[in-house]
């Protein structure tokens, strides 16, 4: 889909007509491209779908990753992170949530790969801007610190 210079590619589900019910692994996964910058919005997918995406021929690399399934231990596998190779990741997670997201194991994976991980429970809203070359990411906490 052309978005006025940017491009959106649906990576998952492969065939939405076969989706019988709403569940995490039926989440929409999009790869957005603007010039030289790529974003992956991964919904609530888990290991099974991550593995399917890794095995497909579709482009996966992304500078910016919306972390799958709120950083649950059922997502962000080594193989998926190796395929996507994000520089920046955003974990959408509520403060003191009852699920204990994000998982410390998942946070360690991002840290070990040198991926800058933002967390909405600590950093607030996270915004990303690009002109196709330059990529700027800023949290509302960082914006308040600049004032």
If you average pLDDT over each of 42-46, 53-57, 107-111, which comes out highest?
107-111
- What pLDDT, on a 0 to 100 scale, did the predictor assign at position 58? 76
Fold of the domain built from segment(s) 2-146? Metallo-beta-lactamase; Chain A (3.60.15)
Share the mean pLDDT of the chain.
89
**What is this structure's pTM?**
0.88
Q: Are 9 and 59 in contact (CB under 8 A)?
A: yes
pLDDT value at residue 143: 79
* Residue 75: predicted pLDDT: 93
Between 1 and 38, the higher pLDDT residue: 38
- Domain limits of the chain? 2-146
Mean pLDDT calculated for residue range 103-111:
96
User: Quick one: what percent of the chain has pLDDT higher than 70?
Assistant: 94
pLDDT, tens only, 52-87: 999 987 788 999 999 999 999 999 999 999 999 999
């Amino acid at each position: 889909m052309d978005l006025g210079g940017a491009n959106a590619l649906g990576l998952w589900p492969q065939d939405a007509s076969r989706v019988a019910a709403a569940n995490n692994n039926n989440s929409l996964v999009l790869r957005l491209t603007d010039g030289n910058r790529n974003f992956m919005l991964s919904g609530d997918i888990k290991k099974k779908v991550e593995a399917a995406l890794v095995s497909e021929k579709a482009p996966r690399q992304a500078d910016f990753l919306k972390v799958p399934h709120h950083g649950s231990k059922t997502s962000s596998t080594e193989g998926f992170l190796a395929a996507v190779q994000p520089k920046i990741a955003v974990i959408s997670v509520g403060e003191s949530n009852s699920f204990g997201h994000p998982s410390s194991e998942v946070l360690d994976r991002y840290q070990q790969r040198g991926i800058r991980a933002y967390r909405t429970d600590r950093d607030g809203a996270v915004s990303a801007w690009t002109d196709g070359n330059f990529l700027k990411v800023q949290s509302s906490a960082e914006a308040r610190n600049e004032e």
